Chains A and B, each alone.
Chain A
Amino acid sequence: MIRFISRRLAQTVLLLFGISVVLFLLAEAVPGDYFSEAQLNPNISADTLQALRSHYGLDRPLVVRYGYWLASVARGDMGYSLAYNQPVSQLLFPRLGNTLLLAVPALLTCWVLALVLGVLLAGYGGKWSERVFSLGSSALLATPDVLLALLALLIAARTRLFPAGGMHSLATADSGRLSSARDLAWHLFLPGCVFILSSLAPIVRHVHAEMKEVLQTPHVRAAEGHGISRLRVLFRYALPAAANPLVSLFGVSVGLMFSVVLVVEIVLGWPGLGPMLLEAILARDMFVTIGGVLLSALMLVLGNVVADFLLYAIDPRIRVQA
């Protein structure tokens, strides 16, 4: 087990290292930097720009800059944001917290919904409900996340039941822990719903397909033949047998989650990683971009690690192998 963890850790570090090298090389290959925009301003002289560049070390060779950046990662700063004049980690970590606050509960809810829906449909669905499901889920799959998020915003604006964006309201800023938690949940609801709607379809389709396959296997039919109730057969005997590929899908869905949550955050004004990354890209604030991408890769790796542990916990076959 310890060998497994340490190997995984080493792999992750190597992976992140590789990603950072590639991103640095890409940035180097393309002309222009954070101060390129200022060149167009006639009030800023070329000397000033040169001074700024050398102040921030942008005029040094690539290897030196990469070395400095690595040292800064080792210090836990992850580089320096030129737009905010702050270490990148101070900018990104609170944002990452907000993203996870939105994404983790939403992803878990999504999985619970998908499991219940997929299993019940595979177990009880007739011809027509299957058809409706297949049509509905593919329509949901085909709806752009952007459209769903905008629709949510429209609903919030029209009904005034939900706040149109943001994470806190000013009124409850310091009115006790309970009411600010309630306020947070109220703000969380719509982005969470959009997130669930846009990630539900692929997951529920997979659950359904796996369950359909497992329901044909001899051991499930034997369980049925013993007169065990349908519901118990489905959740006690069929679902665990279908769990293996689904757990792997869970790891993949973490990556999917990050792509969906980016759009949701930007449209609905949730102060997570997404808006910050977009802003950094538009301003060519390179270290923030690299930091954001590295964090997202790290989260994807973490998702896969969680999936591995889950697999180890629920699938005895893997425990025997390991």
Chain B
Amino acid sequence: MNQHSRAVISGVLLLAFHAVVVLAGFFAPYNYATQDRLHPHAPPMSAHFFDCSGKFHFWPFVYGLKDKEGSFGQYERDCDSRYPVRFFARGDRYAIAGAFSLDVHLFTVDEPGRIFLLGTDGFGRDQFSRTLYGGQVSLFAGLLAAGICVAVGMLAGTLAGFYGGWLDATLMRLAELCIAIPALYLLLAVRSYLPLQVEPAAAFALVVLVIGSVTWGRPARLVRGVVLSARERNFVLAARGFGASSAYLIRRHLLPETLSVSLTQLAVLVPQFIMFEITLSFLGLGVGEPFPSWGNLLSQAQQYHNLVSYWWLLLPGLAPIPVLMAYYALSTALQRRLDLKGEEIIG
């Protein structure tokens, strides 16, 4: 498989992941806050075709849950109650992109039956649904933060490279400051000055802004390097000779030159920033309850008792893996492409 098709495949996969997450309301059987108060810490269940007596059913079904004899908080399947899986059935109301209110779900089961593909958490909330909704926070926090970071980096790098002098010196010293501190520590330090208890929406904006604002150093340096070499190229010198203004030169000639570096940086940074969001939310410094994120979903498992007794609390942690792998494949392909281009110019 060549680099080009690899990039295309990972790009398509990423689009699909993002679409699933945006349409979480449809793909998830329940709302992220819907509680089944009778069944906290229910284990994962799957759809069956064969019932307890071994009889085959054409339509998939799930069992009801009943308390295990002589135990507290443990369940076993209730062979007497079967609930067929309904596709495109009605359930909790949800909004797509904050606008369209719908209540059709890809799959669900009739009340009082429940379908918990990844089990439930301590509040009896469906982990599968929460994982899908959590992706909204984690994926878009990464994307937006990387967008801010690269935009600031492009601006700072272009200005520094184009004008030089004290502006260059100041901006680059600032960039070095950002690079000199391990990213997570800088993130935590900046986060430490901001209020801790905030609404999920405000927390999301905070996380995005904090990540974006402390990491722009590296893209800024890369962009500056490109601008430094581009501004001496003949077509730029010619444009300048014809009396083009600085703003025109930057907009028309220099920014387009930095675009390939910036886009590659974007693909490299998004997965890193998704990881940062996961870590921040896991530590309780990011988006908090009741809205899920891939980080705060795992924080329940941090309690020793929960972790030992209910291993399925770790399952949401698997969700980032395919997404991040697709991002890494995309960024590797882009980086190789960029290198090749550089060689072509030299040759």
Contact = CB atoms under 8 A, between A and B. Distances in A.
A290 B186 CA distance: 10
B325 interface: yes
20 contacts: A19-B181, A26-B189, A26-B190, A139-B325, A141-B328, A142-B322, A144-B294, A144-B317, A146-B278, A146-B282, A146-B295, A147-B298, A147-B317, A150-B301, A151-B314, A256-B182, A281-B285, A282-B284, A297-B180, A297-B182
A164 B301 CA distance: 14
A47 to B, nearest CB: 25
A30 B194 contact: yes
Contacts of B177: 15, 18-19, 22
A27 B177 CA distance: 17
Query: Which of A23, A27, A142, A256 has the largest count of B CB atoms less than 10 A from its CB?
Result: A142
A292 B275 contact: no
Interface in A246-290: 255-256, 258-259, 262-263, 266-267, 277-278, 280-282, 284, 286, 289-290
Main secondary structure of the interface of A (DSSP, over half): helix
B308 A158 contact: yes
B31 interface: no
A5 B323 CA distance: 44
A143 B321 contact: yes
A300 B184 CA distance: 13
A147 B314 contact: yes
A23 B189 contact: yes
B102 interface: no
Nearest to A146: B282
B184 A262 contact: yes
Contacts of A277: 185, 188
B185 A292 contact: yes
A299 B318 CA distance: 32
Interface string A7-37: 0000000010011001100110110100000
Query: Which of A30, A143, A144, A259 has the largest count of B CB atoms less than 10 A from its CB?
Result: A144
Contacts of B188: 262, 277-278, 281, 289, 293
Interface in B233-291: 271, 275, 278-279, 282-285
A138 B322 CA distance: 10
A144 B183 contact: no
Contacts of A30: 193-194
A142 B192 contact: no
A144 B181 CA distance: 21
Contact of A300 (B182, B189, B325, B328): B182
Nearest to B194: A30
B173 interface: yes
Nearest to B191: A281
A167 interface: no
B224 to A, nearest CB: 19
Interface in A276-316: 277-278, 280-282, 284, 286, 289-290, 292-293, 296-297, 299-301
Contacts, number: 128
Contacts of A143: 320-321
Nearest to B326: A142
Nearest to B317: A147
Nearest to B309: A157
B195 interface: yes
Contacts of B192: 280-281, 284, 286, 289
Contacts of A259: 182-185
Nearest to A26: B193
B14 interface: no
B182 A139 contact: no
A153 B320 contact: no
A116 interface: no
B240 to A, nearest CB: 35
Nearest to A252: B179
Query: Which of A29, A139, A259 has the largest count of B CB atoms less than 10 A from its CB?
Result: A259
Given A157-B308, A164-B304, A144 B184 contact: no
A154 interface: yes
Contacts of B194: 30
A145 interface: yes
Query: Which of A150, A164, A278 has the largest count of B CB atoms less than 10 A from its CB?
Result: A150
Contacts of B295: 146
Given A150-B298, A154-B308, A262-B185, A19 B282 contact: no
Contacts of B329: 138
Interface in B119-136: none
Contacts of B308: 154, 157-158
Contacts of B117: none
Nearest to A135: B325
Given A151-B314, A281-B285, A139 B307 contact: no
A290 B328 contact: no
Contacts of B34: none
Contacts of B104: none
Given A141-B328, A146-B317, A150-B317, A255 B302 contact: no
Contact of A258 (B182, B191, B283, B322): B182
Q: List the 9 shortest-distance A-B pairs measured between CB atoms, nearest first.
A: A142-B324, A147-B317, A281-B192, A259-B184, A258-B182, A30-B193, A296-B185, A142-B325, A255-B182
A142 B320 contact: yes
Contacts of B195: 32
Interface string B311-347: 1001001101111110111000000000000000000
Given A15-B176, A141-B328, A150-B302, A293 B320 contact: no
